[in-house]
Structure 1
C-alpha cells in the first residue's frame, strides 16, 4: 500500500452532490435494518422454522443476483437520477405492502416472501445504479475515494441500525419498524431531487445507439476476470458473518443476544475505519488486494482462535477492518479498471458474484459448523484469503500491470 495523502479523505465530500447522496443513503440503509430485523423476528415467531428464515434471505437476495445484468445495462443506458427515483419509489410501495401483510391477524408467509422478492428486485437495481452514480457525482479524479466511501455508508448503517431496530421492535412491534423503513427512503428521494444535473460529470453512456463497450475486448480483461474470481472465493469462504459470528458468540463463547449485537457493531466500526484508511491512499489498485487479503486472512484466523468472549469482542473491530479493506479495494478497483461508460455493467458482475455467493457461503459455513465447530469456517476463510493474496501477486507480476486507481 502507498502512504496516505494528507487531506484526501475529505475529497469526495467536497462535492455537494456526493454529500447529499451519502447522507440519503446512510439514512436509507439504517432504515433497512428496521425492516430486515422486524421481518426476521416475525417469521421466526410465526413459524419457528429456520428453513422459513432461510427463505426470507433467499427472497431478498436472489432477485439482486438475477436482475444484476439488466441493472448494469440500465445504469449504462438510462439517466441514473431517473433510475434512483423509480427504485426509491418502488421500495416505498413495497414497504407499504409489507405493512399490510404484517398488520393482518394471521400473517401469510407466501405473501410476505412475494413482497420481499419485489423488494430485492428494486434494491438490486438501486445498488448497481448507485455505484455507477459515484463517477457522475465526483468525476474521474475522486472516483477511487468516492467508490470506497459508498461501502462506508453500508458499514456505518450496520453499526447503528440493528441496535435502534431492536429497541423499536421491542417497544412498538413490527409494523412501526416497517413504517420507519418506508419513511427512510424519502431521504434518497430528497437527496436525488436536490442534486443539480449541471453539477454532474458526464459518463458518455450509450443512450443514442452508439457502439457498446465490450468488457471482453478491454486490454485489462484478465485483471477484471481475476478480480471477479477473487471476489467469489473470498465471499464464499470468508464473508458469512451472520452465520459464523452468531455461532461463535452464542455456541462457542456462550454469549447472548446483547453480545451478538455488540459484536456486529464493533465489526462495523472496524469496517468504517478500513474505508477511511483506503480513502486516504494516493492510489489503489488490483495489486492492493495482495496485502488486503493477507490482512483479512490474519483477522479471520485471530477471531477464530480467540480463547473467550472478551478476546473475541476485542478482536471484532480487527475483523471489521479486514472486511472494510477488502470491500473498499474491490469496489474501487472494479470501477477504475473500466471506462466510465461501462461502470454499470462491471458493477453488475461484481454484484452477481457477491450476492450469488451468499446462499452458497451460508450452506458451506453451516456444514462446517455442524461437522466441527464455529471456528472452522473462519480458518477455512483465512486459508482462502492467503491463497487469494498469493494469486493476485502472481497475476500482477505475470501481466506486468497493477490496475492502479489514482485519486
Structure 2
C-alpha cells in the first residue's frame, strides 16, 4: 500500500539548533487530563499498538525457544549466556551511532526496514530448525543479527511514539507500550512452552518471524499526513559528540539517565537473585522461580497502567518510585517466608516499571525532537548495558555473602542513588524540604525557597 507524501517523507528544514525549545509540557502544578487508554484514540498509534501486541508475544516466544534450542544443542548454560551476550553486544558497541542514524532518517521507513530484517531472521532460523540442519553457530549469528537491527529499531520505536501521538498523549502511549510488553511477557513464554513441547522449537521461531507481519502492516496502513512533523538532523560531522554534549548540559536529562543506570546495574539483577532465592533460600525449585517472575510481571503491568492513568511525568514521581523500589527490595531481602517474598515481587515490579516509564517519558518530553534519537539511544544503552556490568557484581556478592546480602545491596544502592539525586535536583531547582501540617495531617514536600521563607516568617 502506498503511504503517500507526509511527515515521514518530507525533508526537514536545513537549519538546526540543538538548543531549540523542546515540546511543551504542562505547566508546573497542573495535571494533564488523561484516561488509561486515551492515546488509543489516535488511529496511527492504534495500528502501531495492535501490531506490537502480536510482535511482542512472538519476541518472548523466540527468547524462550532460542535458549531451549541452544541448551538442547550444547548442553551448556554458558552457551546460552553467550547467545544472550551476542544479542545485547551490538547495543553496547553501536547504540549511540544508532541514535545518530535515527535522528537523520524518517522513523516509519526505518522501522519498516528493521522490522522486516528481524522477520527474515526469525523465518530463516525456523527453516534451519524445522529442516534439521540447525547448528549452534546459526543461533549465534541470528542473535547477533537481531541485536544489530535492535541498535536502530529501539531508538526509532521509542522516538516514533511522539510523532504518532504528540506531546499531550506521550506518557500515556509510552505507558501503554510498557503494558503491552509486560502482557506479552505473561503470554509469550507460556505459549512457547506449549509449542516447544507439542511441535518443537522451529514452529516457535516461525511464529515469531510471521508475527512481524502485524507491525509492518500497521506501519504501511498509517496516514502519514496525521503524523506530527519533527525536524530531522541533517548529515554532518560530530553529531555523536553533539548528542553527548546536549545531554551533559541538561541536568533534567542527565540525572534521570544516571538514576536509571544505577537501578538497572544494581537493582534489576533478578535472574541472579530470584533463582538463588528459589533454590538456595526456600529450596522450592523451578515452580517458585516461575511464580516470582509471574508476580513481578503482573506488578510491572499494573505499574505501566497506573502510569498511563496519571498522564504526566513528574520528577518527584520518578524519585519517589526509585526510593520505594530500593526499600521494598531491602524488605524482600529479609523476608522470612516464601509467600511473603513472592508477594513482594508485585510491588517491586510496579515501582520498577514506574521508574522506567516516568524516566522514559520525562526524557522524551524534555528533548528537542531533532536530538531525540541520540538521547533515547543513550538512555537505552545505559539501561540495557547495566545488566552485563551489574550481574557479575551481584553474582560475586551472592556467592561470597549469600543472596540476601546481594539483594539488600542492590536495594540499598538504588534507594541511596534516588535520594542523592533527588536532593541534588531539589537544590538545583531552588527547592527546600518543608515539613508541616495540612488539614490535620503531617506533610513532607519540597517547596520553592521563597515560599519556605514566607512559611517560616508566618510561623
Q: TM-score, normalised by structure 2?
A: 0.82
Cα shift readout 1:313-340 (whole Å, capped 9, x = no counterpart): 2222111112211111111121112112
| In 2: Cα distance, 1:313 partner to 1:302 partner | 12
Alignment match of 1:280 (pick from 295, 298, 309): 309
Paired residue for 2:68? Answer: 41
| Structure exhibiting the larger radius of gyration computed from Cα positions | 2
Contact 2:70 2:139 in 1 (8 A): no
Query: Structure 1: which 5+ runs fail to align?
Result: 403-407
Paired residue for 2:136? Answer: 109
Contact 1:287 1:392 in 2 (8 A): no
Cα shift readout 1:187-234 (whole Å, capped 9, x = no counterpart): 111111121101110112225879977562479612322222212111
The farther-off stretch of 20-29 and 215-224 is 215-224
Alignment match of 1:81 (pick from 91, 100, 108): 108
The alpha-carbon deviation at position 82 of structure 1 amounts to 0.6
| In 2: Cα distance, 1:65 partner to 1:235 partner | 14
Helix, strand or coil at the partner of 2:313? strand
Q: Structure 2 matches for 1:16-35, cutoff 5 A? A: 16-35=43-62
The alpha-carbon deviation at position 4 of structure 1 amounts to 7.1
**Structure 1 or 2: more helix by fraction:** 1
Cα shift readout 1:112-145 (whole Å, capped 9, x = no counterpart): 2112100111123211111011110111222222
Paired residue for 1:399? Answer: 428
The farther-off stretch of 45-54 and 264-273 is 45-54
| In 2: Cα distance, 1:178 partner to 1:218 partner | 39
Paired residue for 2:452? Answer: none
The alpha-carbon deviation at position 251 of structure 1 amounts to 2.8
Paired residue for 1:346? Answer: 375
| In 2: Cα distance, 1:112 partner to 1:83 partner | 25
Helix, strand or coil at the partner of 1:114? helix
Q: Is the alpha carbon distance of 1:24 and 1:377 closer, same or farther for their aligned partners in structure 2, counting shifts above 3 Å?
A: farther
Q: Is the alpha carbon distance of 1:162 and 1:229 closer, same or farther for their aligned partners in structure 2, counting shifts above 3 Å?
A: same
| In 2: Cα distance, 1:401 partner to 1:137 partner | 35
Alignment match of 1:194 (pick from 212, 221, 224): 221
Paired residue for 1:325? Answer: 354
Pairing 1:134–2:161 present: yes
Helix, strand or coil at the partner of 1:9? coil
Helix, strand or coil at the partner of 1:62? helix
Q: Structure 2 matches for 1:221-260, cutoff 5 A? A: 221-260=250-289
Paired residue for 2:126? Answer: 99
Helix, strand or coil at the partner of 2:158? helix
Paired residue for 1:145? Answer: 172
| In 2: Cα distance, 1:399 partner to 1:219 partner | 15
Paired residue for 1:179? Answer: 206
Contact 2:73 2:135 in 1 (8 A): no
| In 1: Cα distance, 2:247 partner to 2:347 partner | 37
How many equivalent residue pairs?
402
| In 2: Cα distance, 1:214 partner to 1:51 partner | 36
The alpha-carbon deviation at position 283 of structure 1 amounts to 2.9
The farther-off stretch of 344-353 and 20-29 is 20-29
**Cα RMSD for the two superposed structures:** 2.5
Helix, strand or coil at the partner of 1:307? coil
Q: TM-score, normalised by structure 1?
A: 0.91
| In 2: Cα distance, 1:372 partner to 1:121 partner | 38
Paired residue for 2:409? Answer: 380
Helix, strand or coil at the partner of 1:388? helix
The alpha-carbon deviation at position 353 of structure 1 amounts to 0.6
Helix, strand or coil at the partner of 1:67? helix
Contact 1:158 1:264 in 2 (8 A): no
